[in-house]
Structure 1
């Protein structure tokens, strides 16, 4: 193409308001500054890409997957761009989730003024392509973005068992410069001014570069998407495979019911619970502990809410009215995805029962989460007892709530713990059956309000209540342990009726 400069020159580059280099935009382009690697552009209404111009790959394109797949995802990328590196695993996840329903096309869009190694890296992938290894080199460069110097590129070629002498000569002679420039110019002509930029079946994708968002965008742009969205069956059409893939989460658990899309069967609910349990087992001890500590602190809010609201109403209404705020801490925990021991007596057990995980692995999760929960509850109890958070009336109601727990016999605590554990296990099952946040909130409120107003024993929130008295000097640690924690925990963890599934 007769270019003598080092970078593609389809259109000059300039700095945006944050000093980031993007290809100089035409009058119809407004730059979205949220993406510092050459942000994706927002096209003005007057701009229209060529009809179908980005949907299917042409003969020069690098295509991963079936070129005749119902959905084609075109990525304009820069190997030296950290944001392109961030989105690389997202594209890999989309490929794994959608399989043969998705074809991925990669086109070069190096922004050399801010990424000086980008062009040489792009040329390296083209040199690898001459030896049938474009995608292998593509993956390796995105997985080693800090290794893009000339000799490091040669080392990548050696690691891929390429003809290193031929590869080195291709790079030194810059034999593939024009191929990279052609992609860059084609991008400019289509309205691309930054990397990463995506097109889905010819439509510019303007959403966040995250798996769920991109998967949803693919679903709306797949053939037959309108019919699927309206609930119609598309038998035999290419969108049937897309729908099946979209209706499953990254873990493989169903995201929609098979028979009725807005209702899960018992087997499907169980699959969702197993996926949650698998995620819990995969977490490190540190993450489990921090999440459990947050849950223990958060559950103290239930104690705060019940005591504060109970103090604001007549004494005879303190329990039924005050406990309206008892679900407060549980809302933080369930909606925030924190680790709470009474939930962990249910979900991880599913992996043990299905022989996916071992008993020692279960005990690890239980031990870390339970310890963190109690420490968090202790921190909350200490805060309430020593900082004057409660006024005199609220402090009196709080003390009454805690004494009520301690006044129960060992047997009463145990059986109240059994019922509380049963209800919380039911909450876990039902929240996995629910598809909307509103439904989950209503479930949390109804079930946890029942736990509170019925005076049932929950080992973690009860610990916050009793430890409040401990830090005020009214109760000993020994009484907390033997008079509450042991019987309540045993009751919470007692086996409950197992939902019947086909698994």
Structure 2
């Protein structure tokens, strides 16, 4: 059936469906999804945010619609979800599958089942026997009768939603269908607040200063940081990982340029001139919006400090980014160490960088890392305070130049230097990790988070969400530590809106 002729849900929600939420919720959102569909994957965190926003007022229903011709692993993934459902863990498997869309082979599915604590023998047996194929076919058939011909397809209280697949548009459509006056008032308040701020960006962060058009207040800078953090938390693991690899390779260019220029300059000031090229990789990262670990120690922390995002999500973000950064830097160092890219003079200088890192004591590395982390985090803050590319470029060049000139250490750049030293056969990987990477990384975190993020947070936190009740924080302490939840701050309706809602209820 054509989507243009069918606009209602043909098969009503029954006990056979997979449901999150209360049966008496005023809103029911049915989604026909495919676990290998990229669009479904991008919308997964959006739907999580909407569920967090609406709570028990939303009943969320998932139905299978694997597009087997386009997505060869989709049907098998759907069967895996049903095999998990047979053991009472459909939604746990649902979440894992969307978080690992790039790994849906049979081995991957069995590994996920084991990690979830399922009976893997039963799980594998049901997959091999196709026990759940009929259940999936029933979902596909119901979708076809409802006009579904692609994924994701949404039905809000039985009516198909054909609007933009974005958080704001989808939430507004859901809220309108349920006539939720409190949520509608919150949206109206947010829209009015955005209109009252001069030239605000789409994310809600100010694009220009409110009091002085080319000068941001601390609150406004903080709002821009929050918008960036929200964007970073919404990225998939694959996006974070690939961007982190790119950042690690970009850092290799810092190592390459600094070594080559230092070797090429026949002056006593050669090291100082070479340090001018240390910012090369950071320029690519900041301007290209790559994911670099130390650059990410400030912005995501803003949401964690306000208990809008959980510590678990922060550690997930950090873990993916730092592993990807080190892999990218290691790849670049290996190529430089095993090929003739460096001249003999540049190779000697490059070895000297690694040797100097190994000769520096553990605690010296730690404290040098603190100051380097402080500088990088300050750079991030100032970049968000800047309105034009030229200013950002100059900030990156000046501040990053300070790190090698003051003999400080950055964990990813330093990793490239010491790994080059290791690949030349002068030290072990364990020594590079334990004697260099651990103290510098810890120092960078302390410098980036405690000495900058907390100070910046303390001067803005009380005022940055003026319509948010500080006694009603979004996440409980348990959720703050363990959950996967993230989202924007909860805004309270203004007095005028409260009066309006009261009038509407009285009617």
Under TM normalisation by the shorter chain, which class is it? Answer: 0.5 to 0.7
Measured after TM superposition, the shift of residue 365 of structure 1 is 0.2
Structure 2 partner of 1:367: 319
Measured after TM superposition, the shift of residue 280 of structure 1 is 0.6
CA distance in 2, matches of 1:145, 1:454: 62
Is 1:309 the equivalent of 2:249?
A: no
Matches within 5 A, 1:31-430: 159=159, 244=196, 247-314=199-266, 316-430=268-382
Structure 2 partner of 1:456: 408
CA 1:406–1:241: 2 relative to 1, 3 Å: closer
Measured after TM superposition, the shift of residue 244 of structure 1 is 4.5
Q: Which runs of 5+ in 2 are unaligned?
A: 1-146, 167-191, 465-507
Matches within 5 A, 1:442-481: 442-481=394-433
Q: Which runs of 5+ in 1 are unaligned?
A: 1-143, 148-154, 162-210, 212-239
Structure with more contact order per residue of length (Cα contacts < 8 Å, sep ≥ 6): 2
CA 1:451–1:242: 2 relative to 1, 3 Å: closer
Note if contact 2:241-2:324 (Cα within 8 Å) is conserved in structure 1: yes
List structure 1 segments (4+ residues) > 6 angstroms apart after TM superposition: 144-147, 240-243
SS in 1 for 2:276: helix
Measured after TM superposition, the shift of residue 318 of structure 1 is 2.4
Structure 1 partner of 2:386: 434
CA distance in 2, matches of 1:246, 1:389: 50
CA distance in 2, matches of 1:244, 1:319: 51
CA distance in 2, matches of 1:351, 1:242: 20
Measured after TM superposition, the shift of residue 312 of structure 1 is 1.1
Measured after TM superposition, the shift of residue 407 of structure 1 is 1.2
1:57-100: CA deviation from partner (whole Å, max 9, x where unpaired)? xxxxxxxxxxxxxxxxxxxxxxxxxxxxxxxxxxxxxxxxxxxx
Higher Cα Rg, which structure: 1
RMSD: 2.8
Is 1:496 the equivalent of 2:451?
A: yes
Measured after TM superposition, the shift of residue 245 of structure 1 is 6.6
Measured after TM superposition, the shift of residue 160 of structure 1 is 6.4
CA 1:367–1:160: 2 relative to 1, 3 Å: closer
Structure 1 partner of 2:438: 486
Note if contact 2:197-2:210 (Cα within 8 Å) is conserved in structure 1: no
SS in 2 for 1:316: coil
SS in 2 for 1:465: helix
Structure 2 partner of 1:175: none
TM-score normalised by the chain length of structure 1? 0.52
TM-score normalised by the chain length of structure 2? 0.52
SS in 1 for 2:269: helix
CA distance in 2, matches of 1:325, 1:401: 14
Measured after TM superposition, the shift of residue 246 of structure 1 is 6.5
Measured after TM superposition, the shift of residue 159 of structure 1 is 4.2
CA distance in 1, matches of 2:194, 2:221: 22
CA distance in 2, matches of 1:271, 1:413: 33
CA distance in 1, matches of 2:237, 2:193: 38
Note if contact 2:200-2:208 (Cα within 8 Å) is conserved in structure 1: yes
CA distance in 1, matches of 2:194, 2:359: 59
Q: Higher helix proportion, which one?
A: 2
CA 1:145–1:445: 2 relative to 1, 3 Å: farther
Structure 1 partner of 2:77: none
Measured after TM superposition, the shift of residue 314 of structure 1 is 2.7
